[in-house]
Amino acid sequence: MDYKVKLEIFEGPMDLLLHLIKRNEVDIYDIPIATITEQYLEYIELIKSLNLDIAGEFLLMAATLIHIKSKMLLPLNEEPEEAEDEGDPREELIRRLIEYKKYKDGAIQLAGRRLLGRDVFIRGIVPTDEIEGEDGLVDLSVFDLIEALREVLEKAPNDISLNLSAEKFTVIDKINRLMEVLRDIKNTTFHSLFSNDTTKGEIVVTFLAILELVKMKMIRIYQSEDVGIRIYMPDKSEDEIDSSTTTKTEEHG
């Protein structure tokens, strides 16, 4: 039976679109709809291949993008009166994206005002890289992780399928293995977890194990400017900080 994962850390389709716009370095007011639609559908297929539960809103957005793309492919001289009335087919999507981005940026700023150092103080200095969000991801989205997964899969042997049920290892095995590695070396980069001959099946199972560990808050992941995505296991002092922060919050509440 295939392993199925349902994660609360997944963002929605608007987040995926913003991720693609940022990755392609394009103007949000002039979205290359054909390119973005193609890449969006590739992400959806990859998420499905990972056996991750995908919300219906992702599929609805896919249908919306395809509809907009089909409108933009119509000849300009076809039904000119209707074309003038409708305007740019991307207009409504762009408006929603800009509005969503505005509220998301505001939420990020509010979330960044941590209690630590304001209402709660500790001895010593906490490294900036170890200040993390509640979901275990530091300045990082799930789509950034999937992007890193795509890079690893592209280097894997092409003759190996993604049939997880046929593999000899399980997600639980990989969880145990990852915890053993992190206990020994404390932290590692995402790409260093995979060798050149790692099969696609093993890559996917390892990725699922990482997502499960993030969900259980047993590991933390952050984006490093020098080496990219880094994974580490929080030490007891960090857990105590989180616990004391929660207690202070409850007291003030």
Model pLDDT, residue 64: 94
Model pLDDT, residue 179: 93
d(CA 56, CA 9): 16
**147 burial level (CB within 10 Å; 0-12, 13-18, 19+):** middle
Model pLDDT, residue 30: 93
Domain boundaries, the chain: 1-113, 136-233
Model pLDDT, residue 201: 85
Contact 89, 71 (CB under 8 A): yes
* Beta-strand pair 220-224/137-138: parallel
Distance of CA 222 to the CA centre of its chain: 12
Q: Euclidean distance between the first and final Cα of the chain, in Å?
A: 46
Q: In the chain, which residues have pLDDT < 70?
A: 1-10, 76-86, 108, 111-139, 158-167, 226-227, 236-253
Cβ-based neighbour number of residue 197 at 10 Å? 9
Residues of the chain with pLDDT > 90, as a percent, come to: 25
Residues of the chain with pLDDT > 70, as a percent, come to: 66
Q: Which residues pair with 221 in a beta bridge?
A: 137, 231
Q: Which residues pair with 231 in a beta bridge?
A: 188, 221
Model pLDDT, residue 174: 92
Only one residue has tokens 């993604």, namely 162
Model pLDDT, residue 248: 42
